[in-house]
Every structure is written in C-alpha cells, then in structure tokens.
Structure 1
C-alpha cells in the first residue's frame, strides 16, 4: 500500500506534464502550427538496465547508432527526476546524443558540474539560502543544541560548512553529527537514539516517546511557488474516458472508486460513479495542489517551448521558405537557445535556466501532521524569504505546528536552561558555547533580559533592586535640617553659640572685676568671639552641599579654630611671661609690656590662611556623591579635594594645640589666685584628645556618618575650650562673687607678702 501511495504522489508529475502540454498547444502565439507531445519512460535507480528504458524510448527496440526506427515523432529533449541519482545516471547517455536534459528534482551541486553534464539544466531555484533559513527556524524556537544528519554526497558536503557557519553566527551548537551513506534512511535507529542519549538533552519521558516514533516534529523546507491557475480544475476533470490510453489512470479509478466487473470479467464503466474525481481521494494519498516538482515540470515544458519557438523564429529569418519546410528541429540545435532562455510563466514567475543568473529560492515551511496515525498531512506553517529585510525573512504560524504526543508547547533542545533576568551566562570550561552556568549579577548590576552575556552596571544615580533585574532611581540623601540628626546638630550649634555669646556678655559686664582683668581681657574676648564662630561652623555641613558651602566648610573651620587655638596659646604665653619676666630690670620685661603675645594670633592665623589659599588654588573641595554607603541612596557630600592639604590644616591646628598644651603644662603650678594655666592645660588636653580620636573614626566612617563625625568633633573640641577655660570664671563671677577679690586672695594665700599702701 505504501508503494501505491508513493506512485499516486508521482502521478501528479504526469498530470502536470499533460496540463503544461495542453496549455501550450492551445496558445496560438507560441509554436504556431506545431504541437508538443511526450513519452514517459520508467527508470530504476542503480540497476544494470537503467539505460534500457530511455534508450528504447528515444530510439526504439532495435537501434543502430545514429539511426532511429521511430517514425512520425521525434524527441527534442528529456525531463528527468525527481531522483538526483537517476538524473545523474541518464545524463551521460543523453549528452552522447546531444539531448537537452531538464531535471525536475531539488537543486543539486553534483549536477551543477557542466564538465560532466554539459547538456543538463536544473529547473529548481538555487538553495543558497537554505542554511540561513534552517538556522532562522532554530533561532525562532530557541533550539541551540541540535544534531546534524548529513548525506555523504556532493550536495551534503556543500551545504554542511554553510550550515555550520550560520549556526556559529547565531550561537547554535552541534550536539552530535551523523553521516548517512545513501539517500535512503537505512541506518539503524538505535544509532540515533544513542547519540541523543549521549547529549542528555531530553527527559526519560521523551526518550520513551522517541522509541514509539512519536517524538519527532517533521518540519521541511520546500521551494515556494505561485499557484498555477487552472491546474486544480484540470485535475478534477481528469478521468479514464478523457485519457483512455492511460492504463495507470484506469487502474487508479477502478481501485479507488469501487468499480465492479461483470460476470464476463469485462469492465463496465457504468458501475463507476459518474461524477467521480481525483479530488475525492484523501489529501495524504493524492494532493490536488501542485507540488514543487510538478511546478518544475510545468516550467520545464514552457522552457522547451520557449526555446523551440525562438529557434524556429531564428530559422525563419536565416533560411528560405523552401528550405525551412524540410528542416526538422534537432536536440543539439536547441541547446543554444535553452542556455539563454529567460521568460515569465503564466503564473507570473520569472524562470531562468542559467545557473549564474538563477534567483534565490523562497521557501515554504511545511509541518507533516500524523494525527490520526498514518495521515501524513502536509500543512504550510510559514515561509522564508531571503530577499526580505533581515527581521522579516521568517514568518511562522506557531499555533499550526503539531508537537509531539503529551505536549502542546515547543520541544526544548538546549544544552543549558536559559538564564533569567538577574543572571548572566558563564561559559563552562571545555564545553560548547551553548553549555553555560547562570551566575547572579553582582551588586549594583542588573540583567533585564534572558541569556544575557554580561550584566549591565546601573548609572551612578540608580541602583539595582534585590532581584538584579531593574535599575531604580536612588533617593537623594544628605545631612538635612529636617532629619533628626541634622536638627540635633543645628540646635546644638545655635544653642552653644548663644551660650558663648552669653559668656561674652558676662565678661563685658564684669570687665572691671579682678578675675576678668587678671586674664588679659582682649585675648578672652577674641577667644570667645572665635568660639562663637566655631559653634556656628557645623551649620555649613547641614543641607544639600553646593560649591560655596563645600569651600567654606573646611576653610572656615581651619581659620576660625586657628584663631581660637592661637588665642589660647597667646593667653598661655602671657601667663608665663607674667610670672617669669615681670621682675624689674629683666631683659624680657619689654615683651610683656609691649604686648608681644598679642602678635601670636595674626601670625598664626596668617600661616593658616596661606595653607588654605594653597589648598584652594591647587585642589579645592568639590561636590561629590556616595553610592555605596547606603543601599538605594545617592549621598551628596563635599569631597575634600586634596587630602594632603586637609591633613596639613589639621596638622597645623594640632601643632598649635600641642604648643599651647606644653606651655600651659609648664605654667600650671605658678602662684597666683587667678592663674588659668591649669584650665588652659586641661582645655588643650580635651582638644587634642577629640581630634586624635577623630582621625581613625573619620577614616572608618562613610556617607553622612563621616560628616557627622567631623561636626561632632568641631562641637566637642569647642565645648572643651569653652567649658574648661570660661565656665570656672563664670562660676566665680556669678555664683561666688566673694572670691572675685584681689585682697582676699592675696592675704589668704601669701600672708605678710603684700600690704596695703
């Protein structure tokens, strides 16, 4: 039965040949007064008698070289195929007698050798785009782990490198490669099964389906061609009474339409359905649509007719009317015209026989349905057009594909599962590019697609979410007045500066008291004023930074604190000079009398201003952002610019504080009721302790915490100066005014030494 079905499929070739012949013979503008006909010869591949049938067909049963015993008709050319093997076998015989050979099978590189087959013309379009078409289909279904089955012939060897090249471009990997010796699939199915198992690309369920033969999805590429008008109606009208000489058609009719025999075993047509037609047959047995090979036959007949028409016109031009009557067209003469034949067939398609000028083929993608079992219905599911734009070459109706049993989804054919969003592909060492691991994106990187090669780093103002598949906008963050920390700092700064101003007011009000006079009023006022600005410095660190505040933060801090510490140093030097060089006649008495300690403040301040000027001139502070300290936040802060300059400013402050501490420590035990050397010593000890603690904490802090550390260090060191130096004096002035008396202190501490005048 399978052989019968195969013959029925091939019988359409006969009908296409007949249809083309009748259509041409009815066309008055083509081959005027000349009728085309045909003979059919059956050729069996590979048999020793392969030459016998065509030889008899062309020259009769008894032949003598260069003589034909067939009278009344003469063949002008031969249509061979669809088998490439039979076309190749008959080719040398036909070339020997200069018969043009037109093959109707698929385009084959082996038949393209004009040295071996100079008289052969392939009707099929070139398959130069078949590799691109196949890989496009693989990419569409995301099949990147595939097996290759290749015939060991010239055509297979030609297409294999092209196919592998296209697969490499699209990153489709070869799981295994199996060479087939002949066009018949005679290799054992177990070899295929073992190859698939080696690649481990399917589940046990699907391997069982493979054993049952239900796993495969048959998708084939066939040359796309336009519909030939009238062919279907022609096939519907075919019946044995129309072509009584066609024995096969009569046999087909009797077997297909239940025609019975009479008692005398003679065929009675009356027993057949009167309106029987070939379109009654199931589609998987006989297809009413013209196949690709039938379309090649149709074009081949028209090509011969066109070439023959051109040849006759040419003969009319060069010969006299009397000579032309005796001229019979020969096959050898037809070659010259066939080589240059180019025409548009009735279906509107351009037909070119020259291999160098042939157009690339458009492909129909056909899925063979096998439900119910054995139906083998061919359904067009898409097409591939190589001349279309790159993204529009392949069009597919995926819902028409018949997938294997127990699934309605496309089958998987991958070495590794796809990496989803948030992951990148990491190639496995020593394996194909299609085999990879999925590695999560690192912090602040994201992958929002599938199978991404690399993760994408989020811009500075964005951050990656926890799934690492999206970049989100960072929230702006800085030490703001509205947040608790900023509010606390602002309140402390304003409160302490107000308190310092109040202390200054107390000193101004009691400027005539001994305790105020005894400690150099001018230096005390300068120190208190500088401390007010020291307490106000943290306000420059609060709020969104800008260029002005970034520059003022460090320079103002450095200069103001230099004034405060140099004032402490001047007070300390004044105390020492008051006790060490106040004896009349001493050489250094003039230092105290002339007010030399007061020059310490401008000199020290000038040095600090110079350092700050160099800092601003070389690498000034600028606005910077921190994206690492707080997840999802973009912290705005001031970059110090030159850290060297910053530490020079701090180092200079530290050296002044150390000098003040040293001098005050040496003068701590000098006898005087109002000697403040002890308080100055302790204030410098607090100041140095704060800034020595600041350095390691500042280096370990990040973001807003780093700003807060510097702010609290400024406040703490300022509180140390204010509290240690001025709070004891305010206590005496406001709480114990009885102690604010020179005579009382002198008489009690040094009796008999001072007497009233």
Structure 2
C-alpha cells in the first residue's frame, strides 16, 4: 500500500455544506414555476439529454405513496458544464462561425422505458402543454447529445433516426449503435476499444496473473469484448477460471446473482475482469457487494459512479478496483470555469439551481424558495468533496467537448461553402438544416483546442490510449480515483504499459501484490506437466530427466544437453564435460602401472635366476630355451598393459591390441611347445620310435613361429580392414567425456581372443593328459594348472568387460592381462625357483629313481 499523507482539514467554507437532502424539489412553489431545463440562447441550438436525476419514492407523503422524488446526480452535472464551457469557448472564437453563435437546451432523461421518451418528445414535437414552454420546437436546433448510457442513446436514436436528425453519443463505444442501417444519423464520440483486450492482458502479465474470472453483460458489446479478450489471453497463456455472462432482464435474476456469487467467491482466481456499461451490470455488481466478495481484484473497463449507492465504498477494503479509462488531454480553463459557475450567472439552468439549493444553506426558515442572499458568500462548486463532484474534466465530459467542436467545425465548413456559392448572401440568421449537416460530418477531421485529433471515419480512427485508475478509500470515505498507470498502443511492444506500483493501494492491511495463479510456477530444473481436464495454467511440476535441463520457469519440455555437456544436479544448467581417461596419475591407473612394473621386475628376476642356474638339472630338464622365451614374453605381456594407460592416440590404440595379441600368442604357444616337449620326452622310450625322432629333430620349436604367424596374419587383416581408433564416450560417466580406444572391428578383436583361447585350450588338454607322467622334473602338472588359471581369467573377462563402461572397461582389460600373465608366472616358475634357491638337493640328477628316465631328460634338454 502506498504511503501518503492524510488529507488536509476542510476549509471553513466547506464546513457550511449541508448533507444531501433526500427530499423532492419538484413540488415546491418556487421550482415548479421554473423551466425544467437548462437553456442558453444562440443562432444554432445544440440539445442535450443527460441523466441528471435519479427517481425514488417519497414515503413521507401519506396521501399519495406513489409520489416520486428527483434526487440530482451531482457528478453528472459536469456534462452540462462541459457543454456550456465548449459553447462559450466557441462563441468567443473569432475564427469559427462568422456572425453566428451556438446555444443549448439541456433536458433530463430518465432510465425507464415508459418515461425515457417524455422529454425527447416534448423537445421534438412540442405536443404537451407545459407552463412557460413553447408549443412548437425551436427550429434552430441542429444536433442532439445523448448518453452516457448506450441503452438511452439506442432508444432516443430510434426516434431521431426517423428524421435524420444528427445524434451524438458521448458514452462508451457501443457496437449496437454502430449499425448505420438502424442508426443512420448517429455518431459515437468515444473511440472503439480496439486495444482494451491487449491493455488488460498486459496488466495481467505485469503482475503475473494467469488465472482470472470474467464477468460480462449479455449483449453485443460483451460478446465482442469476450471474444477479443479470450483470444489475447490464449496468445499469452492466461487462463479463464470461470466465465459469467449475466443479464438482469430475466425472472431468475436473483438466482443468477447467487450463482455468480458462489462462482466468484469459491474460485481460487483472485482477479475478476468486469466489462460492460453500468446500466447492464450495476445491479448485479451492487448485489454482489452486499453479500461480500472477499479479497478480489476487480479490473473494470470504465469508472462506474457508485457514489449514489450507499454502502459501496463501505466494503471497499474487500476488493481492489483497477479501472481502464480512455486517456484524454487536459482542457485548459475548464477547472477555473467550473469554480466561477453559480446560479446568478446562469438563471435559466434549473439543474444548477437545484444543485445549489441542496448543497448550500440558501433557503430561509419561512420559504422553500432559493434566496441567493441567504447563500454563504463566494460559494463555489469547488467546495464540494471530490467524490460528490469532480472538478477535473471526465472522459464523458471530454467527449461532449469534442462533440460541440465537431458540430461547430461542420457548421463552419458548411457556411464557408454557402458563402462561396453565394447562397447565403447577406441574410444573417439563416440556419442550415440538420440534414445538410451530415454531408460535412461524415468525413470531418480536425484538431480541437486541446490539441487532440478528431477523425470521424471509422477506418481512419486512431486507437485509444488508456489511463489506469486505482480507487483510494483509506481513510474510509476518501473514494479518490488515482491515476497509477497508462497503456499506449503506439509504443514498442513490451513498453506499452507503464505502471507506478508504489501508488497502488491494495486491500487494507495488505502490502504485497495479490496472486492469481492456478499452479505455482515450476522453478528451473522442473517442467510443467499438464493436469488432465483442466486449463493449461493448471499443471504439476516434474523433475527433468537425467542429462536434461529447464533453465527458465514454467518450461513445458526439458532440453537435452549436448554430448559435450552434462546437466548439473539442479538440472537447470548444462556444464562442459571434462575430458577423462585412465591416466597414470589416477589412483587406479597408478595401482595398475605399479602392478605391471612389479610383475615385470619379478619376471626379470626369475629370468636372471634361470640364467644363473642354467646348468642345473631343473633348468635343463624343462628346456632352457623355451623357458627363456616364455619369461621374455611374460615381461612383454606385463609391460604391454602400460599401453592402455595415459591419453589415447592413434598409435597407442593400434599398439594396444596388436602387441597384446602377438605377445600373448608367443607366451601361450611357448607353453604349448613346452607341454608337447614333455609329452614327447616321456613317450620316446625306445631309440627307434618316430616320436623320439620328433623330439631329437626339434619339431616342438616350430610351434611358436607357426602359431605366432597365424596371429600376426589375423592382426594384419584387422589393421587392413577396420583398425582401432581414438573414440569418446560421453554417457558412461556423469560430467565427463571419456577418451578411449575403439576396437574398430569387433569381429577381428574376438578372432584374436578366440585364437588365444584355442591355443590355451589345446595346451591345457595336452598338459592335463601328461600330468601323471612319473618323474621328479615333470612340469606337466604346473602347465595344466597355469592354463587353468589363464582360461579362467579370460572366461571371466568377457562378461565383466561387456558390462563395464568407460575407464572401468579399460581397467578390466589391464587387470585381465596382468592376472593371466601372473598366473603363468606363478604356476610355472615359482615352484622351480623355490627348488633352485631353497631346495638344492632336489636340483640334482643323482637322486633319480629311474636312470632311464634320467637319460631321457638329458636327451630332450
């Protein structure tokens, strides 16, 4: 709520104001002798039919309970003053209407079907015998002003249209009155609300209100506006909580009021948009006020005058009215003119006399007649409180001001044309007929003294601008309309609405802006999930899936991050992924590298032991050359695992698989050669047998190059068709892009593994068959166990390798290489080194039980 100073105390003159008297003045002897009109003489007369009084029953009259009282509508008297001000201003203008003056006749019009035509008929036909009134209409009358109600303008326009009499309506634009076939002589001064829907939706978007109710009248205006507003709301994702179209013309009106009340009060929408004129909706709005609408913001299309209805602002704290009115320029001199108005200056204005009588202490104790000498000195309409009479020109009064200038401009052009064709001559006082005026009104275009452009052509009319008013009612009874914003369709989109939120007064006791939404906004990281059978503004908030983000509120769909980026934990931002690979510096990489180096050193130590004890029985009995080849190949197997560590490149990717395939083939084929050698040595029992020839000729030595050549051929085909290459894995590890080596051809990779497996299986089978051959130096058992470990490692490797991802997959392959190589080293050479170093008595041929076998041993060494 805006903080502003309390109103200043009333000046001494205002303390003399009497309350508005609820009494009839029509029956007094003084006022009954006066004309029931306001009149100003002139060469051309403009007539006005304004709602200046409201009717009620005088219950104090016991003789006739049907006696009606006329209570002035103080605010509407400004219509009369605007007309008088414009007429006097034009009459003083030497440029307009040469040698011709404007005058006026103003009558009250009642908003009741059976009395609405009373004064128009009197003015038009002069049939009725009324004291002090001419029986024939003044033929100088040229135009008629009606309004602000569209209903009264409609009814009077039907009558005036029969005679093509120019009628000007100054109320809100009415689509019913725009039918030129039905109203050929009617002109609407108010611009069409072409931007009203855009203006209201802009206000809703400014406060983030997307859940609103609609209340319109059941007429053509309400239907037109409703279609425009709903279309604009749909474009901007503003939803309709409920839609109420009401009419007060049916018998079920009271039930409709209750239904409307229940719909409004029970809805979660805090904003209610009301569109319609006060004649069609005032009754239902007043009824709703009496049954308390709690905490609603009412956005209205015009400023309805509720001050005549006691109790409206009594409930002002229960709702907040935001009112859109047509923006108009300030007319200089109008406020000073109003301050100078008094009944002495305009003696033929019965309405001003009545207003003065009711507002100031102007009567004596013995008479009901106004005695101006009894009035307080220097009385002025400026003494009246703002909610009773407004000193600034209203939008309706400005339309009246524009109308008078439009008529004057048309008359001026008509007179100029008549002068040119010499039809006027020097005959002063010739008044153009009303029918002639239409020719000059239809295409009129001019700037009035306020600087505002007036265009009659509907196709060329400029779009209206809107002022946004807020009613201040604190302290209670202030009832001050404060301009808090403006909407201009001529500025750039997005800057059309300007609002001073610090001037807004929300409900008493509330400082925060009201909320009117169906569902709370989904924060970044969540997407909207539409609720079935509900409006689009009603939704649930669902977290974004993995690697998808929502970086703004109320996103309908989450956005997937690019492959080189990943979603943060809040799912509201994509971050750049860091390059990742199994580096030497990683704990896992460091552990695997240390294992590879340690095993390599251990294998090198074993090789050194075997070289140092090359002449011992154990070393000689197991074929020293094959043992050396196997140990060297194992060293290479351990070292080749280092190729899998570090940043991959094309060279390392190719060397990884090729080196792995070849050195392991050498190792396994060496084991196979050793196994075959053992079998041949124990089977060659006689010198003449062919098996002994194979052993002596060194046939097992051809196993290694033959098997290796086959593997080299497979690897060559692999490199020639689809070699390994550097690849990236953006999905296995969150927040990282893993750089790894792609195998290229998986078929070739599995052929290499399959070939190794076949060699290992053959070696295992041969060794298993020779495991029970008798001899102290028989290593068939160790070869069998080593092949069992080797096969077990690689059979386990396959499912684990396929289930692993990223760096883990590389680590599994390295670990399998180290484990299988360590298995061969441990199972074959650890027992031999134990005997060589710790059990020297077993490393001698003299302890053999079978000398024949000993000779055979020496033979295959």
Task: Tell me, yes or no, whether TM beats 0.5.
Answer: yes
Q: Secondary structure at the match of 1:355?
A: coil
Q: 1:196 and 2:300 equivalent? A: no
Match of 1:575 in 2: 678
Deviation at 1:754, TM superposition (A): 11
Taking structure 1 as reference, are residues 87 and 612 closer, same or farther at Cα in structure 2, changes over 3 Å only?
A: farther
Distance in 1, Cα, partners of 2:705 & 2:771:
26
Match of 1:624 in 2: 728
Distance in 2, Cα, partners of 1:145 & 1:648:
67
Q: Secondary structure at the match of 1:534?
A: helix
Per mean C-alpha deviation after superposition, the further-off stretch among 334-343 and 246-255 is 246-255
Deviation at 1:219, TM superposition (A): 1.6
Q: 8 Å contact 2:144–2:168 — kept in the other structure?
A: yes
Q: Secondary structure at the match of 1:357?
A: coil
Distance in 2, Cα, partners of 1:200 & 1:127:
29
Taking structure 1 as reference, are residues 740 and 230 closer, same or farther at Cα in structure 2, changes over 3 Å only?
A: same
Q: Secondary structure at the match of 2:813?
A: helix
Matches within 5 A, 1:361-440: 361-440=464-543
Q: 1:486 and 2:589 equivalent? A: yes
Deviation at 1:260, TM superposition (A): 5.6
Deviations 1:643-687 (A, max 9, x none): 444333322221121111112222333455543322221111111
Match of 1:560 in 2: 663
Q: 1:152 and 2:255 equivalent? A: no
Taking structure 1 as reference, are residues 694 and 256 closer, same or farther at Cα in structure 2, changes over 3 Å only?
A: same
Q: 8 Å contact 1:661–1:685 — kept in the other structure?
A: yes
TM-score by length of 1: 0.89
Match of 1:22 in 2: 88
Q: Secondary structure at the match of 1:245?
A: coil
Q: 1:686 and 2:789 equivalent? A: yes
Q: 8 Å contact 1:403–1:410 — kept in the other structure?
A: yes
Q: 1:332 aligns with which of 435, 451, 472?
A: 435
Match of 1:292 in 2: 395
Q: 2:110 aligns with which of 44, 57, 79?
A: 44
Deviation at 1:519, TM superposition (A): 3.4
Q: 8 Å contact 1:622–1:641 — kept in the other structure?
A: no
Per mean C-alpha deviation after superposition, the further-off stretch among 374-383 and 657-666 is 374-383
Q: 1:308 aligns with which of 411, 414, 417?
A: 411
Q: Secondary structure at the match of 2:73?
A: helix
Deviation at 1:588, TM superposition (A): 6.2
Distance in 2, Cα, partners of 1:290 & 1:755:
131
Q: 8 Å contact 1:149–1:177 — kept in the other structure?
A: yes
Distance in 1, Cα, partners of 2:752 & 2:147:
97
Match of 1:181 in 2: 247
Matches within 5 A, 1:200-215: 214-215=317-318
Taking structure 1 as reference, are residues 279 and 558 closer, same or farther at Cα in structure 2, changes over 3 Å only?
A: farther
Per mean C-alpha deviation after superposition, the further-off stretch among 176-185 and 526-535 is 176-185
Deviation at 1:374, TM superposition (A): 4.1
Q: 2:456 aligns with which of 353, 373, 395?
A: 353
Q: 8 Å contact 1:547–1:623 — kept in the other structure?
A: no
Match of 1:541 in 2: 644
Deviation at 1:470, TM superposition (A): 4.4
Distance in 2, Cα, partners of 1:109 & 1:298:
22
Taking structure 1 as reference, are residues 263 and 42 closer, same or farther at Cα in structure 2, changes over 3 Å only?
A: closer
Aligned CA RMSD, in angstroms, stands at 3.5
**Runs of 5+ unmatched residues, structure 1:** none
Match of 1:80 in 2: 146
Q: 8 Å contact 1:626–1:637 — kept in the other structure?
A: no
Matches within 5 A, 1:442-453: 442-453=545-556
Taking structure 1 as reference, are residues 534 and 117 closer, same or farther at Cα in structure 2, changes over 3 Å only?
A: same
Match of 1:658 in 2: 761
Q: Secondary structure at the match of 1:308?
A: helix
Match of 1:716 in 2: 819
Deviation at 1:313, TM superposition (A): 1.7
Taking structure 1 as reference, are residues 547 and 61 closer, same or farther at Cα in structure 2, changes over 3 Å only?
A: farther
Q: 8 Å contact 1:146–1:173 — kept in the other structure?
A: yes
Deviations 1:592-644 (A, max 9, x none): 45544334334433433444445453373433235455x55555444445544
Q: Secondary structure at the match of 1:250?
A: helix
Q: 2:364 aligns with which of 242, 254, 261?
A: 261
Deviations 1:295-346 (A, max 9, x none): 1111111111111112222222223563876853111111111111111222
Match of 1:730 in 2: 833
Taking structure 1 as reference, are residues 155 and 654 closer, same or farther at Cα in structure 2, changes over 3 Å only?
A: same
Matches within 5 A, 1:3-18: 7-18=73-84
Q: 8 Å contact 1:262–1:268 — kept in the other structure?
A: no
Q: Secondary structure at the match of 2:482?
A: strand
**Runs of 5+ unmatched residues, structure 2:** 1-19, 23-53, 55-69, 272-291, 297-313
Deviations 1:169-228 (A, max 9, x none): 22222222222114999756432231135545579xx97668967432222211112222
Q: 8 Å contact 1:424–1:454 — kept in the other structure?
A: yes
Q: 1:172 and 2:238 equivalent? A: yes
Distance in 1, Cα, partners of 2:631 & 2:425:
137
Match of 1:53 in 2: 119
Matches within 5 A, 1:96-115: 96-115=162-181
Q: Please state which structure has a larger fraction of its residues in helix.
A: 1
Taking structure 1 as reference, are residues 230 and 653 closer, same or farther at Cα in structure 2, changes over 3 Å only?
A: farther
Per mean C-alpha deviation after superposition, the further-off stretch among 15-24 and 608-617 is 608-617
Taking structure 1 as reference, are residues 283 and 603 closer, same or farther at Cα in structure 2, changes over 3 Å only?
A: farther
Taking structure 1 as reference, are residues 600 and 270 closer, same or farther at Cα in structure 2, changes over 3 Å only?
A: farther
Deviation at 1:455, TM superposition (A): 3.0
Distance in 2, Cα, partners of 1:10 & 1:586:
139
Q: Secondary structure at the match of 2:114?
A: coil
Q: 8 Å contact 2:485–2:498 — kept in the other structure?
A: yes
Distance in 2, Cα, partners of 1:747 & 1:584:
17
TM-score by length of 2: 0.79
Deviation at 1:548, TM superposition (A): 4.0
Q: 1:118 and 2:184 equivalent? A: yes
Distance in 2, Cα, partners of 1:221 & 1:86:
23
Q: 1:667 and 2:735 equivalent? A: no
Taking structure 1 as reference, are residues 635 and 751 closer, same or farther at Cα in structure 2, changes over 3 Å only?
A: closer
Q: 8 Å contact 1:747–1:754 — kept in the other structure?
A: no
Taking structure 1 as reference, are residues 78 and 283 closer, same or farther at Cα in structure 2, changes over 3 Å only?
A: same
Per mean C-alpha deviation after superposition, the further-off stretch among 329-338 and 48-57 is 48-57
Taking structure 1 as reference, are residues 447 and 606 closer, same or farther at Cα in structure 2, changes over 3 Å only?
A: same
Q: Secondary structure at the match of 1:557?
A: helix
Deviations 1:719-738 (A, max 9, x none): 11112222233334444455
Match of 1:234 in 2: 337
Distance in 2, Cα, partners of 1:542 & 1:276:
103
Deviation at 1:445, TM superposition (A): 3.5
Deviation at 1:552, TM superposition (A): 3.4
Q: Secondary structure at the match of 2:817?
A: helix
Distance in 1, Cα, partners of 2:695 & 2:333:
129
Q: Secondary structure at the match of 1:348?
A: coil
Per mean C-alpha deviation after superposition, the further-off stretch among 448-457 and 25-34 is 448-457
Taking structure 1 as reference, are residues 614 and 60 closer, same or farther at Cα in structure 2, changes over 3 Å only?
A: farther
Match of 1:141 in 2: 207
Taking structure 1 as reference, are residues 311 and 615 closer, same or farther at Cα in structure 2, changes over 3 Å only?
A: farther
Q: 8 Å contact 1:620–1:642 — kept in the other structure?
A: yes
Match of 2:198 in 1: 132
